Structure 1
Amino acid sequence: MPYDPPPDLAGLSLAEIAALVEARKLPPIDQWQPEQRGDSEMRVAVDGKWFHQGGEIRRPAMVRAFATLLRRDADGQHWLVTPQEMLTIEVEDAAFIATDVTAQADALAFRLNTDDTVIAGPNHPIIARGDSEIPAIYVAVRHGTEARLNRSTYAQLVELALAGGDLSVSSGGETFSLVPR
Protein backbone atom coordinates (compact mmCIF):
# COMPACT_ATOMS: atom_id res chain seq x y z
CA MET A 1 0.00 0.00 0.00
CA PRO A 2 1.65 3.27 -1.09
CA TYR A 3 2.12 6.13 1.35
CA ASP A 4 0.78 9.53 0.38
CA PRO A 5 2.70 12.21 2.27
CA PRO A 6 0.56 14.95 3.80
CA PRO A 7 0.26 18.26 1.95
CA ASP A 8 2.41 21.27 2.76
CA LEU A 9 1.18 22.99 5.93
CA ALA A 10 1.35 26.49 4.46
CA GLY A 11 -1.11 25.49 1.74
CA LEU A 12 -3.80 24.29 4.16
CA SER A 13 -6.48 26.19 6.04
CA LEU A 14 -6.79 25.76 9.79
CA ALA A 15 -9.94 23.70 9.26
CA GLU A 16 -8.05 21.40 6.86
CA ILE A 17 -5.19 21.01 9.35
CA ALA A 18 -7.66 20.22 12.16
CA ALA A 19 -9.34 17.64 9.91
CA LEU A 20 -5.96 15.96 9.27
CA VAL A 21 -5.30 15.79 13.01
CA GLU A 22 -8.78 14.39 13.68
CA ALA A 23 -8.58 11.84 10.87
CA ARG A 24 -5.42 10.28 12.28
CA LYS A 25 -6.55 7.07 13.93
CA LEU A 26 -4.20 6.23 16.78
CA PRO A 27 -4.30 3.15 19.02
CA PRO A 28 -5.63 3.74 22.57
CA ILE A 29 -2.24 3.15 24.22
CA ASP A 30 -3.24 5.24 27.24
CA GLN A 31 -5.82 2.54 28.04
CA TRP A 32 -3.39 -0.38 27.76
CA GLN A 33 -1.67 -1.48 30.99
CA PRO A 34 0.14 -4.72 30.11
CA GLU A 35 2.09 -6.43 32.88
CA GLN A 36 4.80 -7.86 30.63
CA ARG A 37 7.77 -5.48 30.49
CA GLY A 38 11.03 -5.51 28.58
CA ASP A 39 13.55 -3.52 26.58
CA SER A 40 12.91 -2.71 22.93
CA GLU A 41 16.64 -2.25 22.26
CA MET A 42 15.58 0.89 20.40
CA ARG A 43 16.81 4.46 20.62
CA VAL A 44 15.64 7.80 19.27
CA ALA A 45 18.70 10.00 18.70
CA VAL A 46 18.75 13.73 19.36
CA ASP A 47 18.39 14.35 15.60
CA GLY A 48 15.15 12.30 15.46
CA LYS A 49 16.63 9.20 13.83
CA TRP A 50 15.41 5.86 15.17
CA PHE A 51 17.75 2.92 15.83
CA HIS A 52 17.24 -0.75 16.70
CA GLN A 53 20.15 -2.76 18.08
CA GLY A 54 22.52 -0.06 16.84
CA GLY A 55 21.27 0.01 13.24
CA GLU A 56 19.23 2.91 11.90
CA ILE A 57 15.61 2.20 11.02
CA ARG A 58 15.55 3.61 7.50
CA ARG A 59 11.94 2.85 6.56
CA PRO A 60 9.81 5.92 7.40
CA ALA A 61 6.69 3.72 7.58
CA MET A 62 8.28 1.69 10.40
CA VAL A 63 9.20 4.84 12.31
CA ARG A 64 5.65 6.18 11.88
CA ALA A 65 4.22 2.86 13.11
CA PHE A 66 6.44 2.73 16.19
CA ALA A 67 5.73 6.41 16.93
CA THR A 68 2.00 5.67 17.26
CA LEU A 69 2.81 3.25 20.11
CA LEU A 70 4.98 5.67 22.09
CA ARG A 71 4.22 7.18 25.48
CA ARG A 72 6.23 8.71 28.31
CA ASP A 73 5.53 8.10 31.98
CA ALA A 74 5.74 10.56 34.89
CA ASP A 75 9.38 9.59 35.50
CA GLY A 76 10.32 10.53 31.92
CA GLN A 77 10.74 6.94 30.69
CA HIS A 78 9.54 6.37 27.12
CA TRP A 79 7.70 3.14 26.32
CA LEU A 80 6.52 1.31 23.24
CA VAL A 81 3.12 -0.02 24.30
CA THR A 82 0.99 -2.81 22.86
CA PRO A 83 -1.91 -4.61 24.54
CA GLN A 84 0.51 -7.44 25.46
CA GLU A 85 3.69 -5.65 26.57
CA MET A 86 5.50 -2.42 27.37
CA LEU A 87 9.06 -2.06 26.13
CA THR A 88 11.43 0.70 27.20
CA ILE A 89 12.90 2.88 24.48
CA GLU A 90 15.81 5.26 24.97
CA VAL A 91 15.04 8.80 23.86
CA GLU A 92 18.08 11.09 23.91
CA ASP A 93 16.11 14.35 23.89
CA ALA A 94 12.59 14.34 22.43
CA ALA A 95 10.70 11.56 20.71
CA PHE A 96 9.82 13.77 17.73
CA ILE A 97 11.26 16.67 15.76
CA ALA A 98 9.01 19.56 14.67
CA THR A 99 10.08 20.26 11.08
CA ASP A 100 7.65 23.04 10.08
CA VAL A 101 5.18 25.49 11.57
CA THR A 102 2.41 27.58 10.11
CA ALA A 103 0.36 30.32 11.76
CA GLN A 104 -3.30 30.75 10.91
CA ALA A 105 -5.80 32.84 12.85
CA ASP A 106 -5.02 32.09 16.52
CA ALA A 107 -3.35 28.76 15.90
CA LEU A 108 0.13 27.39 15.34
CA ALA A 109 0.27 24.03 13.57
CA PHE A 110 3.46 21.97 13.64
CA ARG A 111 4.48 19.21 11.23
CA LEU A 112 6.58 16.49 12.85
CA ASN A 113 9.27 14.26 11.36
CA THR A 114 6.71 11.42 11.47
CA ASP A 115 4.27 13.44 9.30
CA ASP A 116 2.02 13.96 12.35
CA THR A 117 0.47 17.39 12.80
CA VAL A 118 0.04 19.07 16.19
CA ILE A 119 -1.90 22.27 16.84
CA ALA A 120 -0.43 24.10 19.85
CA GLY A 121 -2.82 25.03 22.63
CA PRO A 122 -3.89 23.96 26.12
CA ASN A 123 -3.46 20.24 25.36
CA HIS A 124 -0.30 20.76 23.30
CA PRO A 125 1.69 23.53 25.02
CA ILE A 126 4.87 25.07 23.65
CA ILE A 127 7.65 24.71 26.24
CA ALA A 128 10.90 26.72 26.40
CA ARG A 129 13.87 24.98 28.04
CA GLY A 130 17.60 25.46 28.18
CA ASP A 131 18.95 28.93 28.80
CA SER A 132 19.43 32.19 26.92
CA GLU A 133 22.67 30.87 25.38
CA ILE A 134 21.24 27.54 24.20
CA PRO A 135 17.45 27.67 24.17
CA ALA A 136 15.39 24.65 23.20
CA ILE A 137 11.72 24.86 22.26
CA TYR A 138 9.37 21.88 22.45
CA VAL A 139 5.71 21.23 21.74
CA ALA A 140 3.76 18.55 23.60
CA VAL A 141 2.57 15.83 21.23
CA ARG A 142 0.59 13.04 22.94
CA HIS A 143 0.81 10.63 25.86
CA GLY A 144 3.54 12.71 27.53
CA THR A 145 5.80 12.82 24.48
CA GLU A 146 7.26 15.98 23.00
CA ALA A 147 8.73 17.29 19.77
CA ARG A 148 11.78 19.52 19.75
CA LEU A 149 11.69 22.26 17.14
CA ASN A 150 14.48 21.93 14.59
CA ARG A 151 16.55 25.01 13.80
CA SER A 152 14.46 26.30 10.88
CA THR A 153 11.15 25.75 12.73
CA TYR A 154 12.60 27.49 15.79
CA ALA A 155 13.60 30.43 13.56
CA GLN A 156 10.10 30.55 12.04
CA LEU A 157 8.56 30.63 15.53
CA VAL A 158 10.91 33.38 16.74
CA GLU A 159 10.06 35.41 13.62
CA LEU A 160 6.36 35.07 14.45
CA ALA A 161 7.04 36.09 18.05
CA LEU A 162 9.08 39.14 17.07
CA ALA A 163 6.36 40.24 14.65
CA GLY A 164 4.08 40.34 17.70
CA GLY A 165 6.50 42.60 19.55
CA ASP A 166 7.90 40.21 22.16
CA LEU A 167 9.24 36.70 22.56
CA SER A 168 5.94 34.93 23.00
CA VAL A 169 3.42 33.33 20.68
CA SER A 170 -0.27 32.52 21.01
CA SER A 171 -2.17 29.47 19.86
CA GLY A 172 -5.49 27.97 20.84
CA GLY A 173 -6.21 30.76 23.30
CA GLU A 174 -2.92 30.27 25.19
CA THR A 175 0.22 32.42 25.20
CA PHE A 176 3.59 30.71 25.33
CA SER A 177 6.89 32.42 26.19
CA LEU A 178 9.87 31.44 24.05
CA VAL A 179 12.26 32.56 26.79
CA PRO A 180 13.63 29.65 28.85
CA ARG A 181 13.08 29.95 32.59
Structure 2
Amino acid sequence: MNRLEELLKQADPKGPAPVERWNPPYCGDIGLAILRDGQWHYQGSAIARLAMVKLFARVLRRDEDGRYYLVTPVEKVDVAVADAPFLAVEMQAEGAGRGQSLLFRTNVDDVVRCGADHPLRFVTGDPQGFKPYLHVRGRLEALVTRPLVYDLVELAVEGDNGALGIWSGGAFFPLPT
Protein backbone atom coordinates (compact mmCIF):
# COMPACT_ATOMS: atom_id res chain seq x y z
CA MET A 1 0.00 0.00 0.00
CA ASN A 2 1.34 3.44 -0.84
CA ARG A 3 1.97 6.25 1.63
CA LEU A 4 -0.98 8.51 0.74
CA GLU A 5 -3.42 5.58 0.76
CA GLU A 6 -2.16 4.72 4.23
CA LEU A 7 -2.63 8.34 5.39
CA LEU A 8 -6.16 8.32 3.96
CA LYS A 9 -7.02 5.18 5.93
CA GLN A 10 -5.60 6.73 9.12
CA ALA A 11 -7.69 9.89 8.74
CA ASP A 12 -10.00 10.81 11.59
CA PRO A 13 -13.22 8.82 10.98
CA LYS A 14 -15.25 11.75 12.36
CA GLY A 15 -13.92 13.92 9.53
CA PRO A 16 -13.56 17.69 9.76
CA ALA A 17 -15.48 19.78 12.28
CA PRO A 18 -19.11 20.43 11.22
CA VAL A 19 -18.42 24.14 10.65
CA GLU A 20 -21.13 24.38 7.95
CA ARG A 21 -23.78 23.69 10.62
CA TRP A 22 -22.50 26.27 13.11
CA ASN A 23 -23.89 29.80 13.06
CA PRO A 24 -22.09 31.68 15.85
CA PRO A 25 -21.94 35.46 16.19
CA TYR A 26 -19.30 37.33 14.20
CA CYS A 27 -16.51 38.50 16.52
CA GLY A 28 -14.39 40.53 14.10
CA ASP A 29 -10.91 40.50 12.67
CA ILE A 30 -8.20 39.32 15.06
CA GLY A 31 -5.35 39.43 12.54
CA LEU A 32 -5.29 35.91 11.10
CA ALA A 33 -3.98 35.51 7.57
CA ILE A 34 -2.93 32.75 5.18
CA LEU A 35 -0.24 33.86 2.72
CA ARG A 36 0.15 32.66 -0.88
CA ASP A 37 2.83 30.20 0.22
CA GLY A 38 0.42 28.56 2.71
CA GLN A 39 2.05 30.14 5.77
CA TRP A 40 -0.43 31.06 8.51
CA HIS A 41 0.12 34.33 10.38
CA TYR A 42 -1.33 35.90 13.49
CA GLN A 43 -1.01 39.67 13.72
CA GLY A 44 1.89 39.64 11.26
CA SER A 45 3.88 36.82 12.89
CA ALA A 46 4.17 33.34 11.42
CA ILE A 47 2.44 30.55 13.31
CA ALA A 48 5.31 28.09 13.58
CA ARG A 49 3.53 25.20 15.30
CA LEU A 50 2.09 22.89 12.64
CA ALA A 51 -0.28 21.38 15.23
CA MET A 52 -1.83 24.82 15.78
CA VAL A 53 -2.18 25.42 12.02
CA LYS A 54 -3.85 22.01 11.62
CA LEU A 55 -6.25 22.82 14.46
CA PHE A 56 -7.19 26.13 12.83
CA ALA A 57 -7.53 24.43 9.42
CA ARG A 58 -10.12 22.02 10.88
CA VAL A 59 -12.42 24.93 11.76
CA LEU A 60 -11.83 27.03 8.65
CA ARG A 61 -14.86 27.88 6.53
CA ARG A 62 -15.55 29.97 3.44
CA ASP A 63 -19.00 31.51 3.39
CA GLU A 64 -21.16 32.30 0.38
CA ASP A 65 -19.89 35.89 0.50
CA GLY A 66 -16.42 34.56 -0.40
CA ARG A 67 -14.89 35.48 2.96
CA TYR A 68 -12.97 33.02 5.11
CA TYR A 69 -13.58 32.52 8.83
CA LEU A 70 -12.42 30.41 11.71
CA VAL A 71 -15.65 29.08 13.17
CA THR A 72 -16.42 27.45 16.50
CA PRO A 73 -19.85 26.83 17.99
CA VAL A 74 -19.54 30.15 19.87
CA GLU A 75 -17.57 32.56 17.66
CA LYS A 76 -16.58 33.42 14.10
CA VAL A 77 -13.47 35.47 13.20
CA ASP A 78 -12.01 36.67 9.90
CA VAL A 79 -9.11 35.01 8.12
CA ALA A 80 -7.50 36.92 5.24
CA VAL A 81 -6.55 34.42 2.53
CA ALA A 82 -4.18 35.62 -0.21
CA ASP A 83 -5.03 32.85 -2.71
CA ALA A 84 -6.21 29.45 -1.46
CA PRO A 85 -6.26 28.36 2.18
CA PHE A 86 -4.39 25.14 1.44
CA LEU A 87 -1.64 23.90 -0.86
CA ALA A 88 -1.62 20.51 -2.54
CA VAL A 89 1.98 19.46 -1.85
CA GLU A 90 2.04 15.76 -2.72
CA MET A 91 0.30 13.72 -5.41
CA GLN A 92 0.09 10.06 -6.18
CA ALA A 93 -1.32 8.61 -9.39
CA GLU A 94 -2.64 5.08 -9.69
CA GLY A 95 -3.81 3.47 -12.89
CA ALA A 96 -4.04 5.17 -16.28
CA GLY A 97 -6.57 6.76 -18.60
CA ARG A 98 -10.19 6.54 -17.45
CA GLY A 99 -9.13 4.23 -14.61
CA GLN A 100 -6.65 6.70 -13.19
CA SER A 101 -7.05 7.93 -9.63
CA LEU A 102 -5.16 10.90 -8.18
CA LEU A 103 -4.62 11.25 -4.48
CA PHE A 104 -3.39 14.56 -3.05
CA ARG A 105 -1.99 15.58 0.34
CA THR A 106 -2.30 19.18 1.47
CA ASN A 107 0.11 21.21 3.56
CA VAL A 108 -2.13 20.52 6.60
CA ASP A 109 -2.14 16.77 5.87
CA ASP A 110 -5.66 16.46 4.47
CA VAL A 111 -5.64 13.59 1.96
CA VAL A 112 -8.12 14.02 -0.89
CA ARG A 113 -8.98 11.68 -3.76
CA CYS A 114 -9.65 13.78 -6.86
CA GLY A 115 -12.90 13.01 -8.68
CA ALA A 116 -16.45 14.25 -9.08
CA ASP A 117 -16.74 15.04 -5.34
CA HIS A 118 -13.28 16.65 -5.21
CA PRO A 119 -12.77 18.16 -8.67
CA LEU A 120 -9.85 20.02 -10.16
CA ARG A 121 -10.45 23.44 -11.66
CA PHE A 122 -8.01 25.50 -13.66
CA VAL A 123 -7.57 29.27 -13.60
CA THR A 124 -5.80 31.04 -16.43
CA GLY A 125 -4.15 34.44 -16.58
CA ASP A 126 -1.31 33.83 -14.11
CA PRO A 127 2.11 34.92 -15.44
CA GLN A 128 3.48 31.40 -14.73
CA GLY A 129 0.64 29.73 -16.66
CA PHE A 130 -2.58 28.14 -15.48
CA LYS A 131 -3.18 27.40 -11.79
CA PRO A 132 -4.99 24.20 -10.75
CA TYR A 133 -7.11 24.12 -7.62
CA LEU A 134 -8.44 21.00 -5.89
CA HIS A 135 -11.71 21.06 -3.96
CA VAL A 136 -10.95 19.90 -0.41
CA ARG A 137 -14.21 20.38 1.53
CA GLY A 138 -17.07 22.84 1.82
CA ARG A 139 -16.01 25.86 -0.23
CA LEU A 140 -12.32 25.30 0.52
CA GLU A 141 -9.69 24.56 -2.09
CA ALA A 142 -6.00 23.75 -2.28
CA LEU A 143 -3.75 25.40 -4.84
CA VAL A 144 -1.77 22.67 -6.58
CA THR A 145 1.91 23.57 -6.15
CA ARG A 146 4.03 24.22 -9.24
CA PRO A 147 6.03 20.93 -9.07
CA LEU A 148 2.75 18.99 -9.05
CA VAL A 149 1.46 21.03 -11.99
CA TYR A 150 4.29 19.55 -14.07
CA ASP A 151 3.32 16.07 -12.85
CA LEU A 152 -0.31 16.74 -13.83
CA VAL A 153 0.70 17.87 -17.32
CA GLU A 154 2.66 14.65 -17.77
CA LEU A 155 -0.55 12.72 -16.99
CA ALA A 156 -2.64 14.62 -19.54
CA VAL A 157 -4.39 12.59 -22.22
CA GLU A 158 -6.94 13.33 -24.90
CA GLY A 159 -10.53 13.10 -23.68
CA ASP A 160 -13.66 12.03 -25.55
CA ASN A 161 -14.18 15.50 -27.00
CA GLY A 162 -10.57 15.81 -28.17
CA ALA A 163 -9.55 18.13 -25.34
CA LEU A 164 -6.37 17.48 -23.42
CA GLY A 165 -7.00 16.83 -19.74
CA ILE A 166 -6.64 14.72 -16.63
CA TRP A 167 -8.70 11.69 -15.61
CA SER A 168 -9.26 10.92 -11.94
CA GLY A 169 -11.92 8.91 -10.19
CA GLY A 170 -13.90 8.50 -13.42
CA ALA A 171 -14.09 12.27 -14.02
CA PHE A 172 -12.30 14.18 -16.78
CA PHE A 173 -10.82 17.61 -16.07
CA PRO A 174 -9.89 19.44 -19.29
CA LEU A 175 -6.77 21.56 -19.24
CA PRO A 176 -7.20 25.19 -20.30
CA THR A 177 -6.32 25.98 -23.89
Partner of residue 26 from structure 1, selected from 13, 16, 24: 16
Which aligned segments of 4 or more residues in structure 1 are displaced greater than 4 angstroms? none
CA distance in 2, matches of 1:130, 1:86: 32
> TM-score when scaled to structure 2?
0.86
> TM-score when scaled to structure 1?
0.84
Higher mean displacement: 24-33 or 119-128: 24-33
Cα deviations by residue, 1:76-119 (Å, 9 ceiling, x for unpaired): 11110000011110000000010111111331111111111111
- Which residue of structure 2 aligns with residue 178 of structure 1? 175
- Which residue of structure 1 aligns with residue 48 of structure 2? 58
Partner of residue 147 from structure 1, selected from 139, 142, 145: 142
Shift of 1:132: 7.7
- Which residue of structure 1 aligns with residue 28 of structure 2? 38
Provide structure 2 residue ranges, at least 5 long, that are not aligned to the other structure: none
Provide structure 1 residue ranges, at least 5 long, that are not aligned to the other structure: 1-9
Shift of 1:130: 1.9
CA distance in 2, matches of 1:70, 1:13: 23
CA distance in 2, matches of 1:120, 1:21: 16
- Aligned partner of 2:144: which letter? L
Q: What is the correspondence of 1:76-95 to structure 2 with a 5 Å cutoff?
A: 76-95=66-85
1:132–1:179 CA contact under 8 A, matched in 2: no
Q: Among the aligned pairs, what percent are the same residue?
A: 37
* 2:154 is equivalent to residue 159 of structure 1: yes
CA distance in 1, matches of 2:119, 2:34: 22
Structure 2 CA distance for partners of 1:92 and 1:13, relative to 1, 3 Å: closer
Structure 2 CA distance for partners of 1:37 and 1:132, relative to 1, 3 Å: closer
